[in-house]
Structure 1
Amino acid sequence: MNTFTALSTSVIPNPTPVVPAQAGGLLTILNWASGIGLVLGVLGVIISGIGMLIVWNRGQGGDHLAKLGWVLAGCIVITGAGGIVQAFV
């Protein structure tokens, strides 16, 4: 039996991660950070919308649309942080 056959027929283990009991405080901090980030994201969307209304009267709305895009991209990263990290681990 060659090495390739041995590798292809072996079973690759798939361990399930278990959070230790001592990580409770860390999980609380992560939940708070995520919640604060999302609240700041909503505040950023509101501020960007106000800025768009102000400059719309002047005819210069394009700059604030880009800022709104960055705020929404940040919100997507915050909400998807767990999935992003899990994809790389």
Structure 2
Amino acid sequence: MPDVDSKAPGELNDAVEVVLGIAAWAGTVAGVVGILATGIMMAVSVKRGESSEHFSRLGMVLGGCILVAAAGPTVTFFFKNA
């Protein structure tokens, strides 16, 4: 049986880390913008005297933030331990 090295080359590791870093920053920016937009919509609704269900939208935004925050470390864990 031939001895096969199953680890990824160093250049690929570096490229994946750069892509994960950019994706993490982009996800963080999108999360902050989403929270701010939801807060603005809530403030406008209260000022108009409307009762809107913005907490479900806020929950979706926060769920997306959690997903983005957990994706990078999860992929890095499996990528480095493979």
Q: What letter corresponds to residue 11 of structure 2 in structure 1? A: Q
The alignment's C-alpha RMSD in Å is 2.3
Measured after TM superposition, the shift of residue 84 of structure 1 is 4.6
Name the counterpart of 1:21.
10
Name which one, 1 or 2, has greater alpha-carbon Rg. 1
- Whole-Å separation in 1 of the counterparts to 2:39 and 2:8: 40
Structure 2 residue ranges without an equivalent (≥5): 1-6
Mapped contact 2:24–2:72 kept (Cα < 8 A): no
Name the counterpart of 2:4.
none
- Whole-Å separation in 2 of the counterparts to 1:45 and 1:54: 14
Measured after TM superposition, the shift of residue 78 of structure 1 is 0.4
Q: When the two structures are aligned, how many residues end up with a matched partner?
A: 70
Structure 1 residue ranges without an equivalent (≥5): 1-17
Aligned runs of 1:68-79 on 2, under 5 Å?
68-79=58-69
Measured after TM superposition, the shift of residue 83 of structure 1 is 4.7
Name the counterpart of 2:33.
43
Q: What letter corresponds to residue 51 of structure 2 in structure 1? A: Q
TM-score with structure 1 setting the length = 0.66
Instruction: Write out the 4+ residue segments of structure 1 that deviate beyond 2 Å after TM superposition.
Output: 82-87
- Structure with larger RCO (C-alpha < 8 A, sep 6+): 2
Mapped contact 2:31–2:64 kept (Cα < 8 A): yes
Measured after TM superposition, the shift of residue 20 of structure 1 is 3.5
